[in-house]
Every structure is written in C-alpha cells, then in structure tokens.
Structure 1
Amino acid sequence: MKVTEHIERANGKTLFSVEILPPLKGQDVNCTFKTLDPLVELQPAFIDVTYHRQEFIYKQKENGLLKRYQVRKRPGTVAICAAIQNHYKVDAIPHLICGGFTKEDTEDALIDLNFLGIDNLLVLRGDPIKTEKSFVPESGGHAYASELIEQVTALNTGNYLDDDLQESHKMDFCIGVAGYPEKHFESPNLGMDMYYLKKKVELGADYIVTQMFFDNQKYFDFVKKCREMDINIPIIPGIKPLTTFNHLTSIPQNFYIDLPESLAMEVLKAKDKEAIKEIGLEWCINQCKELKAFGVPGLHFYTMSNSSNTKKVAEAVF
C-alpha cells in the first residue's frame, strides 16, 4: 500500500513508522528482525531502509603499491525490503539515491522493486562519501534528486530508457522526498531550499519526510512556509531521541541542526548516563505528544537500528 493511502485510511490518526539501517556486511537478516520485532508489535504503517553508497579504501599490495577498492559496508537494501514485507507483511520503503548509479542502474533497480511488489520509494540525492569534498554524481547518472524523481515518474507512465519498447508496463511508485526544517546544509538559505523542495513536488513527489529536529516550532514554521508556497502534500516529521552526552556534538555535526538551549543545558547538568537518557527520552515524548496534538500525519523515527529507545517513546505516545 502507498504511504499516501496509509495516511488517507488513518482518517486523521497519527501513523507510526520507523527507519532502519541494513545489517553490516557479514551479518544476516536475523539482525534486522531482532531490531524490528519489538517495534512491529506497535504496528508501524511502514518501515524505511536506508541505502549506503560505496566507499573507497586503499590496501597495500605485496609490491608496495596501493590499490583502491570499492566497498559497501551495508549492502542489501532491496533484499532487506523484500524480506521485511514477506516476514512482517508491513510496507517497506527503500531509499533510492543518485550517488553510485547510472540511469540504467536506476531503471534496473526500479524494475526489481516493482517485481517485488514494493509500492513506495524515498528519493534522495545522497550524501558525499568520505573521499569527496562535495557530492560527485556518477557518470551517466543523476546529479540532483529532482532528476531522479523525473526518471521514476517517467516509469510511472511507462516511459523506459529504451524508446523502442512497445506497450510497456506502467509502474506506480509513491514517491517520498526529504524536507529540511532547518534547511539542507548545502543550501545558501532556507528560501532557496524551499524553492527546490517545491520543484520536487511539482515533478511528482507525493509526500515529505523531514530531517530530525528537536524544536517543534521549526517544524510548524516549515509546514506554514510549505503551505504558503502551495506545497500541499503530507509532511511527516522525522524524530530521534537524544540519549547520550556525545549527541550534544555529534547530532549538530552530522545532521546540521540546532539543539534547543534548554535541552542542552539539562544534559550538561545531568549526573550520569542514565539521567541523560531519561532527559532525552522525556524531551522526545513531549515533543511527539505536541506534534500529535498538532495533527501530523505520522511520526517517523530514525532508529539507527536501536529499537529500545524508539519503543519507549512510541509506547508513551501511541
């Protein structure tokens, strides 16, 4: 079922959904099931599975020369989505990114996803890898999420890269895109970021999932700006609890967002790790309750494959 259909059928009720990482190379699917088993009890509407680009590593050969190797630490997004849908009968949503894919690779991936009965995608440009100062598109691929959306919408109308195909099958993917209440870190300002978001919606995006935030007013202002720009598709807030002292620096550094001063000061004054965790969970629970009262279509939790914190928050909210 499409995400938009889930929202329509909920009839105003706030949906619960989660995002997980694929298992590390060398692990099996049971690692994913172990993460999801406690969360599936709470009946998520859908489960997102991230995709990770290939990284490059250098290893010294016997002759002393360095050789570059491509590695992917977390392969298997498509297969994990198929396993989730088969095992739990819950809609799984793969992340589809620009980086590392030609247009032909993308079309092949979409054909596979269509064969598997996967109805939804989260379409993203993707982040630069560690060896890139800025994002570098694949030769013969896409540089922007908007271009990737265009390819998906073309397949939704039966237009493949091979122009000679006759009476080709039309796909029917529901397309999700990312939104940034505090703007994308590469955007010069929020206005420009909103301009590109509107472009993605005009090209066929069906719903928006936001980057995590810890100040609900940022989300409320973001929704208001969207509606003023005639961006009227569902906007699902992305949520993550702060649970460790290191999160004070790692979350702003990795996700380019601000932490409210009152939350940060509470964490600084906390006596131990358990107290920090309780502060973060209580903040997240209150945040979710306020969002739910506001009437958000769903609460989407970034679990990072740690289900226990998400479950504690969700049980207190839903």
Structure 2
Amino acid sequence: MVRLADTIGRRNGGSVYAEPVEDVTFSFEFFPPKTPKMEETLWSSIKTLEALNPSFVSVTYGAGGTTRERTHKTVKRILDETPLKPAAHLTCVGASKDEVNEVVRDYYDAGVRHLVALRGDAPEGAGGYRPHPGGYANAAELVAGIRDIADFDISVAAYPERHPESGTLAADLDNLKRKIDAGATRAITQFFFEPDTYFRFLDHCHSYGIEVPIVPGILPVTNYGTLKSFAAACGASVPKWMGDLFEGLDDHPQTRMLVAASVASEMCRQLYAGGVRDFHFYTLNRAELTYAICRMLGYRAPAKQEA
C-alpha cells in the first residue's frame, strides 16, 4: 500500500519550487454558461487555460439533461474555434436509449471523440434517481451503448470516499469495475482534500483488478460555504483544518484565493511525489486559480513560436 509519508518528497535539494516539470498533463472541466456575461467569463477562462496544452477539456451536462443544448453548443464551439479536444458529458437521466444514442451520433458526426459517461442526478424535486423506462439504467449500460456506436474515448466517474448512494465501498468498486469492463478508458475521481484518500482508493481499485488510469479530480476552493454544500451532495469529506484555514475570510476574497492556491498546489505536489502525472481540475469556469496551481506544481507552458 502506498503511504503518504513515503510519497512526500522534495526535489532539487529540498526546494518545493523545483525545476519546471515536463511529465505532467492536465485536463479541465467547464460548465455551459447561462448568460452572456457567464459566456464571456467561460471563454476568457478557456483561452487562458489553453496555454497549458491540456489533454482535453470537458463540458458538464445538467441534471435531467437540462443543459443539453448549451452543452452541445459549448462543445461545438470549442471544437470549431480552439485547438483543444473537447469531451462532452452525457447522462442517462430523462431520455430513452434512442434519444441518447442520437446525441452520441451527433457528437461523433461533429468530430467529438471523447465522452464522459455518467449515470447523472435526478432533477431537483424528483425524489431520487429513477431510470427512464426506455433508457439506460446506469453508467455501465451507457458506456456499453456508446462503445457499440463508435470508438470513443470514454471517461467515467470514481468516488474515493464512496458515492453517497452506495451502501458500501465494495459496492461502489463493483460498480466502477462494471463501467471499466463495459469499455471505459479512464476514471476521473470526485474531488478530495487529503492525498492519502486518493492513494488508498488507488490501492482498492488495483485490488479489484481496475487497471485503467484513475485521474485525481482537483477542486480549488474559493468559497468554503459553497464547498460544504458540494461535498455533502457527492460524499466528499472536508477536513477540519480546511475549515480553520478559511474561517473568517468571507470578506477577504483575495486572501481566500491565496489560501486556496496554496492548499491545492501543496496537495498536487504530494500527489506528484506519489507518482501522479495526470490532473483533472474542476475549474468552475474560473481560470486564474487553476492556472496558478499548475504553475506552482512546476508546469511551464511552451514558449510561443515566432511566425
């Protein structure tokens, strides 16, 4: 088992600010904008993070497919107007298999080759998840359906601290294994705040024969109150020390940003020391904090070539 104490290292004579690294890759998650102002913020963020040469950028999909058109529009624009490789989120909720398959084919025809296959959450007020009568019952079925249509790169979700609807960690790992066996090519974790949480989960995955890349999902914290709501919804724990760090900073946004960058970059360095080379960031459509963390990790964007 990988122990955190064994993984934390110091490079180049003990300095945490080491020589630039060239062996890391990043991916970034965005959500489709609701307003012209939010769209402006999104595209400013995309252009900023484009310089980090991400392996892909993903675009989320609202509960019950509520952002289907906006997701598709955002993915198409990324494909048409940037050199980035977009990955479209897709869920099982509120649609028949035929409807979902049509979306999959539309993405393939548009040139998208990467999907993030998720069961999805029920719309607010629905009283919990229920499969559509003629739809895919879960993410494993969705992965298999996508794989039958075309040769997509397929990412799925993983939960280092167990999905809140899973009775046990074993049941959660069984579900992840079914998704991988159905044809998923990688798993991206829900966010977490202790590196040892990720390394323990990695050991559990290996014990279940799950050998695809398990990419850690990193959520830079900008608002502690919002974070607690996010965490409660997805089964992630928030350590007390983090609450202590952000206590009393509600009216100090710049200080919060500095603390958030330090916390996330330190965790990323510890993950790097433990062998992690791929990082997925939940950007919340804000670029500067994520960009700063990647810089503090040691990544330097390639210099622009002269025309």
Q: Which residue of 1 aligns with 2:27?
A: 17
SS of the aligned residue for 1:76 comes to helix
CA contact (8 A) 1:185 1:256 kept: yes
Amino acid at match of 1:147: E
Match of 1:205 in 2: 184
* Of 107, 111, 122, the match for 2:116: 122
Aligned letter for 2:234? Answer: F
Matched, 1:184 2:178: no
SS at match of 1:279: helix
For the pair 1:44 / 2:23, whether they are aligned, the reply is no
Q: Distance in 2 between matches of 1:130 and 1:20?
A: 21
Whether 1:266 aligns to 2:260 is no
Q: 1:193 to 1:30 in 2, by over 3 A?
A: same
Distance 1:177 1:31, change over 3 A: same
Deviations 1:72-107 (A, max 9, x none): 467321221121122111110000100022111111
Task: Provide the residue aligned with 2:128 in structure 1.
Answer: 134
- How far apart, in 1, do the equivalents of 2:202 and 2:195 lie? 11
CA displacement at 1:181 relative to structure 2: 0.1
Q: What is the deviation of 1:299?
A: 0.7
Counterpart position of 2:153: 174
| Structure 2 residue identity aligned to 1:42 | L
1:230-253 deviation digits (Å, cap 9, x = unpaired): 100011100011222424532322
Instruction: Tell which structure's C-alpha radius of gyration is larger.
Output: 1
2:10 aligns with none
| Deviation per residue, 1:184-219 (Å, 9 max, x gap) | 010011111001111111111110000011111110
Paired with 2:130 and 2:294, the residues of 1 have a C-alpha distance of 38
For the Cα contact (< 8 Å) 1:19–1:49, is it kept in 2? yes
The 2-side partners of 1:27 and 1:140 are apart by 38
Identify the residue that residue 105 of structure 1 maps to in structure 2.
Answer: 99
Per-residue deviation at 1:224?
0.7
Which residue identity does 1:311 align to in structure 2? Y
Preserved contact between residue 245 and residue 276 of structure 1 (Cα < 8 Å): no
* C-alpha distance in structure 2 between counterparts of 1:26 and 1:53, whole Å: 21
Partner of 2:145: 151
Q: Percent identity?
A: 30
Look up the SS of the partner of 2:190 in the other structure: strand
Distance 1:29 1:115, change over 3 A: farther
SS at match of 1:224: helix
Structure scoring higher RCO (CA < 8 A, sep ≥ 6) equals 2
What is the match of residue 43 of structure 2?
A: 33
Equivalent position to 1:91, from 75, 85, 108 = 85
Partner deviation per Cα, 1:240-287 (whole Å, 9 max, x = no partner): 112224245323223321112222222226595233332222110101
- Look up the equivalent residue of 2:137 and give its one-letter code: A
- Please tell me whether the aligned partners of residues 96 and 121 of structure 1 are also in contact (alpha carbons under 8 angstroms): yes
- Tell me, yes or no, if structure 1 residue 75 matches structure 2 residue 85: no
- C-alpha spacing 1:22/1:195, structure 2 compared with 1 (3 Å): same
| Matching of residues 243-282 of structure 1 within 5 Å | 243-247=222-226, 249-268=228-247, 273=252, 274-282=254-262
Structure 1 match to 2:294: 314
Change (3 A) 1:53 1:250: closer
> What are the ranges of 5 or more consecutive residues in structure 2 without an aligned counterpart?
1-21, 300-307
Separation (CA, whole Å) in 2 of partners of 1:133 and 1:154: 32
Q: SS at 1:128's partner residue?
A: coil
Cα distance in 2 for partners of 1:271, 1:112 equals: 44
Give the Cα separation in 1 of the matches to 2:125 and 2:250: 39
Are the structure 2 counterparts of residues 257 and 23 from structure 1 closer, same or farther at C-alpha, using a change threshold of 3 Å?
same
CA spacing shift, 1:240–1:257, aligned 2, 3 Å: same
1:305 counterpart residue number: 285
Partner of 1:285: 265
AA of the residue aligned to 1:88: T
